[in-house]
Amino acid sequence: MTTTISGTTVAATNYTGSGAALTGAGGVLQIKTAIKTDAFTSSSTSFVDVTGISVSITPTASDSKILVLVDYKGSMGVKASVTFYGNLLRDSTIIYNMGSVGGDTGVVDFVSSSGCVFLDSPATASATTYKIQGRGDGAAWACNRRQGNASVMSHSSITVMEIAAGVL
């Protein structure tokens, strides 16, 4: 189907289906999500998996794209100048550096939000796992809670969407 807008002919893409399952180039083929509601703490200065912020998806085609959305809530230790570093991984490969949070000498033990939006091209139709790893720079760090107060909880999540190839 085509239409003319201000003298320019534009081709329209037709999508079929309903809800999240739209077919056609750029359509969302499937959505998977994981919500972490419990806490995770670590003192690791090397990257470790943050349990519960992981989701697996099996693309329907090897040329599909995977849109990854991460919302990470965490806190640094109760000493000043502590920084959390995060990475997004596809299986065991780092595909996005989420950067760092913290390092403020005037504020300690606060819950902050970190995350990313990343469009991945895994080039596979096999099961693929997306996950978050984190590390601190010498003191304890936590996910979904303040390090110094376990009663202050929040939630973190990871969502992946398979996008049909074609226009991206």
> So what's the pLDDT on residue 13?
39
> So what's the pLDDT on residue 113?
73
Parse the chain into domains and list their residue ranges.
16-163
Buried b / exposed e across 85-110, counting CB within 10 Å, b at 16+?
bbbbbbeeeebbebeebbeeeeebbe
CA dist 160 and 131 (Å) reads 10
* pLDDT averaged per 10 residues, the chain (length 168): 44 41 77 93 91 96 96 71 84 91 58 84 97 85 76 86 81
> So what's the pLDDT on residue 59?
97
At the top level of CATH, the class of 16-163 is: mainly beta
Residues 24-34: tens digit of each pLDDT: 778 999 999 99
